[in-house]
Structure 1
Amino acid sequence: MPTSFLEIVELPDGRIVLRRADDEEALLTLDFSSDAKLFLQGQHVEVAKAMINVGVQMAGRMSEGELEREEEGSRVLH
């Protein structure tokens, strides 16, 4: 991915997206259910920011070879 500024935006429909500042296309979309938003007491945007931050850090470490890539195929994530 070319180097550019990224922004986190909450769309009018409630989805939260990560996108390049100069592009409308989403690189990543997070969509919290109503139940999740209620559980998070309105702090879902802060949770989304933290999730995206960790993901971007991990992607950077993977591209630098610090983390080994997983094998392709289905896997349980938890």
Structure 2
Amino acid sequence: MSSAFLEIIELPDGDFVLQKADEEGEPLVTITFSKDAKEFLKEHNVTVAKAMIGAGIQTVGVISKQMAESELDDEFRTVH
């Protein structure tokens, strides 16, 4: 069964990954900051990574809703 919970992990190399909790396998998303970005952000890189992932998840929700509404429109189309 697929996990409904997601987690953000900071890897030893400074990358951040979004993955399903309690599951192994390829991450859903990986964020890699350049050296310059890491120097600029310092400890705020965690905040920026969380915001980026949060915005992505929110956008996926909007897209999913639009797709579901589109499927309903197709299902109840009146044909004359």
Distance 2:5 2:28 in 1: 12
User: How high is the TM-score relative to the length of structure 1?
Assistant: 0.75
1:39 aligns with: 40
Stretches of 4+ aligned residues off by more than 3 angstroms: none
Aligned pairs for 1:28-67 within 5 A: 28-65=29-66
Deviations 1:41-76 (A, max 9, x none): 32111100000001100101100008xxxxxxxxxx
Structure 1 residue runs without a partner (length 5+)? 67-78
Query: Shift of the alpha carbon at 1:3?
Result: 5.9
Aligned residues: 65
Cα offsets for 1:12-52 (capped at 9, x unmatched): 12110000002233000001111101111321111000000
Greater C-alpha radius of gyration: 2
Amino acid at match of 2:31: L
Whole-Å Cα distance in 1 between the matches of residues 27 and 42 of structure 2?
A: 25
**How well do the aligned residues superpose, as a CA RMSD in angstroms?**
1.6
- Per the alignment, residue 16 of structure 2 pairs with 16
- Higher share of residues assigned helix: 2
